[in-house]
A and B are shown apart, each in its own frame.
Chain A
Amino acid sequence: MADSALSGLVVLDLSENISGPYCTKLLADYGAEVIKIEKPQTGDASRRAGPFPDDNPDIEKSGLFLFLNTSKKSITLDIEHNIGRDIFLKLVKQADIVVENFTPGAMARLNLNYEALTEVNPKLIMASISYFGQTGHYRHWESADIVTQAMGGLMHLTGEPDREPLKLPLSQAEFQAGLNAAIAILCAVFYRDVTGDGQYIDISVQEAIVSILEGAISTYSYSGHVPNRAGVRHRYKCPSAIMKAKNGYIHMEAGAYWEHFAALTEAPQLMDPHLASILRYRYVDEVEEAIRTWVESRTADEIFIEGQEWRMPVAKVMGIEELADDPQYTARNFFLDIDHPKAGLLRYPGAPFRMSETPAKINRAPLLGEHNKEIYACLLGLSADELAELKERNVI
């Protein structure tokens, strides 16, 4: 059996919802031992988020939770309780990394901030993810994904120019922050391997978003120009637009050879000097009009196949429901069928990249507190009686 890239790293994961759990999912799928610490009885908030099979809420069947927590272990622990806090510190002693995404200041109030944790484990790496970071004017602001997409500059750039700004679907800002956290943690691990020193990482969801604005900040700084929304189009390319095909929608874009694009779309007028010129973006309406009849007379599938034969970067606007049967995902075995004792056999998005020596190993998400016995008894040496008492007192 192949090795895993991150074997040997022990992660204590106090985070919930999306940002922290996606970070630790990546670490876990690629081999780290991630111990997820959940609140007794209720657990991670994403256990209540759904989607649920037949829309029946059940903390063991939330689709969001099941996806985000693969390959992890779950223990229940109330770190706000004194005994729980002591147990947590014992675990910290044996861990490499702690990840949390409480509101800034929450860990300090429990006297579990980085300073306190390094007293028991001086080499610890700790990552805190919050909407606006651990410092600054907005650090205590209430937030949600839409708020950070807005305050991060992404929303202003998405949607129709004459309508309200539009957020990206689902919770993209939180995923971005989780990715940043995962990279930063491995950078810290790398540094620790060389020097023996741990460190503290402050991740701001807002900053994760401002970082991916594709040159918008520099463009403004260079010329004073403020990039705006472009709807179905691209701010800089022509043609590059989502258009209505005979059925559904297609992303139309020209490849390197303009005369090939004109031939493909049966639009000889594209060879008129003003449209054949590199300055054709000035006539974007005319360019799109010239190809519209052809686009509308074909299905998205036909355009994708024919366009790719001409080496044009055309693409079908696909629905989520079309993905699992798509020949490319299928050929690469991207989707995984994972069984779960409560939720049953379900199809999950698989590994985001392939590693030749250390492929991802993706196992089902844990039941709430499933690994209490393993962690508390085997790792910390607590007796069955002690566990029973902790349970009785609602500490685990």
Chain B
Amino acid sequence: MSSKNRQALTGIRIIDLSQLFAGPYATKLLADMGAEVIRIECAARSGRGGALPRMQPGGDFGASFPDGDTGERSYNRFAYYNELNRNKYAITIDLSKPRGVEVFKRLVEISDVVVENFSPRVMCNFGLEYAVLRETNPQIIVASISGYGQDGPYRDCVAYGESIEAMAGMSKLTAYRNGTPLKPGVAYADAAAGLHAAFAIMAALRYRRVKGVGQYIDLSMRETLTPLLSEAIMDYTMNGRIPEPWGNRHTRMAPHGCYRTKGNDSWIVIAASCNEEWRALCHVMGDPQWSRDERFANLDGRLANHDEIDKTIEKWTIDYYNIELAEMLQAHGIKAGAVLNAAELVDDPHLRERGFFEEVEHPEAGKHIMPGISWKMSRTPGRIERPAPCFGEHNRYVFSKLLGMSSDEIKRLIQEGVTAEAPLPYTEI
């Protein structure tokens, strides 16, 4: 490949057995950078979200499908999957069949990385644990993402992202001031795990390039989330202080909060990190009498009287549109921003100017917008080269072109149910 078209990870092949968010997010980042990511999916459990109740015909999970219509092949039209799996290839192999395992191993022979996020016993049950894969390909890098890690008493515990947020101490802090625990609005533990996994894989690839040695990565979602709470953990470790939920407040800034603005469910956030910023905020508010109260002159006073400040600020913000007010405050050097929802993000002039969102045409879902490449690299910017794969779309490419199978061999795979062109219908178990 000419160096002009070369992306950072051109030439790297990753086999992706992962499902839901954490694993697919890791491989999305690497696929965006040019790695060839081949998803291995199974007809019985496609992992495309097709098993979620609201996606079934009759369910009203419409929002995730083009114009609310699941279409004939809902598994190819699911927004969540199609965003997370752009740039990837997808093939179908049933790993519970010996012949499926055999095909999988042939693929491992010609690949660089395997990513999986099954429960820790599953790869072993398939006979595909790291020790086996290393025999197949001594340089292979295998990354296992699990809730609690590959060993220890919780090894076999069932976990989704929300379980991990709860068990790592995050849900308890995701709360309004002195309030009860809530859930982060996105699968935050999955994001933390996916990002750390992508970093771990890159570190392993770098080491392999230098030393020629592959390795095994054991990543526990809970252990990737815990460091992100280090500030509270260090306070406990130093002072035995049990953190209270701070809501939208901050220990070193005041005011620091979220205020209602004009319109339906419209909000602005404002933060003042020093007395100068507080005075600048008062200035923009028109220097009202209340703001000159001595109690508000310094940080400690503002922290102590935060409720009162909040109420008064909100009486002022409510008359403005959030984006206009944020612009006005920023013009005076005050930290402020609008709380943007999905629709407002897509229209955000700054993100547009940076070309962040990209429009991707999918053969079964149509043309839609999704977040683009997560960072900007000057020489290898990455690209969205292909939409998310349809189920089994690349069976032929992988079996015939990469593995050199004859059409008879492929036919046999289909007959034996080792591969498939469509997922099995959802049955409630």
The 10 residue pairs across chains A and B that have the minimum distance between CB atoms:
A157-B185, A63-B234, A278-B53, A225-B63, A315-B163, A215-B80, A158-B185, A186-B202, A169-B173, A331-B152
Known A-B contacts A170-B229, A253-B162; A150 and B202 likewise in contact (beta carbons under 8 Å): no
Quick check: which of A81-89, A129-137, A374-382, A386-394 contacts chain B, the rest being far away?
Answer: A129-137
- The CB with the most chain A CB atoms within 10 A, among B8, B33, B213, is that of B8
- The CB with the most chain B CB atoms within 10 A, among A5, A148, A249, is that of A5
Beyond A210-B371, A220-B343, A236-B52, 14 extra complex contacts between A and B, CB < 8 Å = A51-B241, A67-B231, A134-B376, A142-B336, A156-B342, A186-B199, A203-B376, A217-B370, A220-B342, A228-B265, A237-B52, A242-B182, A316-B166, A358-B215
Interface status of B288 (Cβ within 8 A of chain A): no
CA distance A132 to B58 in the complex (A): 42
Interface status of A269 (Cβ within 8 A of chain B): no
- Residues of B within 8 Å of A315, CB to CB, are 159, 162-164, 166-167
Interface status of A319 (Cβ within 8 A of chain B): yes
Report whether A186 and B258 are in contact in the complex, using a CB–CB cutoff of 8 Å.
no
Interface status of A279 (Cβ within 8 A of chain B): yes
Report whether B335 and A142 are in contact in the complex, using a CB–CB cutoff of 8 Å.
yes
Which residue of chain B has the shortest Cβ distance to A186 in the bound complex?
B202
Report whether B229 and A320 are in contact in the complex, using a CB–CB cutoff of 8 Å.
yes
- Residues of A within 8 Å of B246, CB to CB, are 169
Which residue of chain A has the shortest Cβ distance to B191 in the bound complex?
A212
Which residue of chain B has the shortest Cβ distance to A208 in the bound complex?
B374
CA distance A82 to B216 in the complex (A): 47
- Residues of B within 8 Å of A281, CB to CB, are 53-54
Report whether A227 and B342 are in contact in the complex, using a CB–CB cutoff of 8 Å.
yes
CA distance A255 to B428 in the complex (A): 12
Report whether B66 and A319 are in contact in the complex, using a CB–CB cutoff of 8 Å.
no
Quick check: which of A36-44, A71-79, A286-294, A322-330 contacts chain B, the rest being far away?
Answer: A322-330
Quick check: which of B92-100, B249-257, B389-397, B409-417 contacts chain A, the rest being far away?
Answer: B249-257
CA distance A308 to B14 in the complex (A): 32
Report whether A242 and B181 are in contact in the complex, using a CB–CB cutoff of 8 Å.
yes
Beta-carbon contacts under 8 Å, A138-184 to B: 138, 141-144, 146-160, 163-172, 175-176, 179-184
Report whether B379 and A191 are in contact in the complex, using a CB–CB cutoff of 8 Å.
yes
Nearest CB on B from A2, distance (A): 10
Interface status of A116 (Cβ within 8 A of chain B): no
Partner of B187, one of A195, A214, A233: A214
Known A-B contacts A68-B230, A279-B59; A169 and B65 likewise in contact (beta carbons under 8 Å): no
CA distance A383 to B351 in the complex (A): 50
- Residues of A within 8 Å of B418, CB to CB, are none
Report whether A184 and B377 are in contact in the complex, using a CB–CB cutoff of 8 Å.
yes
Report whether A327 and B153 are in contact in the complex, using a CB–CB cutoff of 8 Å.
yes
Report whether A147 and B337 are in contact in the complex, using a CB–CB cutoff of 8 Å.
yes
Report whether A278 and B184 are in contact in the complex, using a CB–CB cutoff of 8 Å.
no
- The CB with the most chain B CB atoms within 10 A, among A191, A281, A313, A352, is that of A352
Beta-carbon contacts under 8 Å, A343-362 to B: 346-358
- Residues of B within 8 Å of A279, CB to CB, are 53-54, 58-59
Quick check: which of B267-275, B296-304, B398-406 contacts chain A, the rest being far away?
Answer: B267-275
Nearest CB on B from A38, distance (A): 19
Interface status of A190 (Cβ within 8 A of chain B): yes
- Residues of B within 8 Å of A197, CB to CB, are 3, 379
- Residues of A within 8 Å of B363, CB to CB, are none
Report whether B232 and A218 are in contact in the complex, using a CB–CB cutoff of 8 Å.
no
- The CB with the most chain A CB atoms within 10 A, among B175, B180, B183, is that of B183
Q: List 13 A-B contacts (CB under 8 A).
A: A51-B239, A63-B235, A136-B350, A150-B267, A156-B341, A169-B232, A204-B376, A215-B80, A219-B342, A232-B182, A236-B61, A323-B168, A348-B237
Which residue of chain A has the shortest Cβ distance to B203 in the bound complex?
A5
Interface status of B137 (Cβ within 8 A of chain A): no
Interface status of B236 (Cβ within 8 A of chain A): yes
Report whether A199 and B248 are in contact in the complex, using a CB–CB cutoff of 8 Å.
no
Partner of B340, one of A156, A203, A323: A156
Against A, the Cβ 8 Å flags (1 = close, 0 = not) of B132-171 are: 0000000000000000110111100111101110111111
Interface status of A385 (Cβ within 8 A of chain B): no
CA distance A18 to B51 in the complex (A): 39
Nearest CB on B from A286, distance (A): 15
Interface status of A262 (Cβ within 8 A of chain B): no
CA distance A236 to B238 in the complex (A): 40
- Count of A interface residues, CB-CB < 8 Å: 162
- Residues of B within 8 Å of A354, CB to CB, are 149, 217-219
- Count of B interface residues, CB-CB < 8 Å: 164
Interface status of B356 (Cβ within 8 A of chain A): yes
Nearest CB on A from B89, distance (A): 20
- Residues of A within 8 Å of B365, CB to CB, are 222
CA distance A197 to B159 in the complex (A): 42
Partner of A278, one of B59, B223, B353, B368: B59
Known A-B contacts A188-B380, A354-B219; A159 and B172 likewise in contact (beta carbons under 8 Å): no
Interface status of A112 (Cβ within 8 A of chain B): no
Partner of A213, one of B234, B354, B371: B371
Report whether A180 and B333 are in contact in the complex, using a CB–CB cutoff of 8 Å.
no
CA distance A67 to B231 in the complex (A): 8
- Residues of B within 8 Å of A324, CB to CB, are 237
CA distance A186 to B201 in the complex (A): 10
CA distance A215 to B214 in the complex (A): 33
- Residues of A within 8 Å of B43, CB to CB, are none
Interface status of B282 (Cβ within 8 A of chain A): no
Report whether A183 and B198 are in contact in the complex, using a CB–CB cutoff of 8 Å.
yes
Interface status of A267 (Cβ within 8 A of chain B): no
Report whether A142 and B333 are in contact in the complex, using a CB–CB cutoff of 8 Å.
yes
Known A-B contacts A150-B269, A236-B54, A348-B237; A355 and B204 likewise in contact (beta carbons under 8 Å): yes
Report whether A199 and B338 are in contact in the complex, using a CB–CB cutoff of 8 Å.
no
Interface status of B87 (Cβ within 8 A of chain A): no
Report whether A327 and B53 are in contact in the complex, using a CB–CB cutoff of 8 Å.
no
Interface status of B200 (Cβ within 8 A of chain A): yes
Report whether A183 and B199 are in contact in the complex, using a CB–CB cutoff of 8 Å.
yes
CA distance A233 to B342 in the complex (A): 19
Interface status of A102 (Cβ within 8 A of chain B): no
Report whether B152 and A328 are in contact in the complex, using a CB–CB cutoff of 8 Å.
yes
- Residues of A within 8 Å of B181, CB to CB, are 232, 242, 249, 317
Report whether B374 and A207 are in contact in the complex, using a CB–CB cutoff of 8 Å.
yes
Nearest CB on B from A374, distance (A): 24
Known A-B contacts A213-B371, A242-B171, A242-B182; A353 and B196 likewise in contact (beta carbons under 8 Å): yes
CA distance A141 to B337 in the complex (A): 9
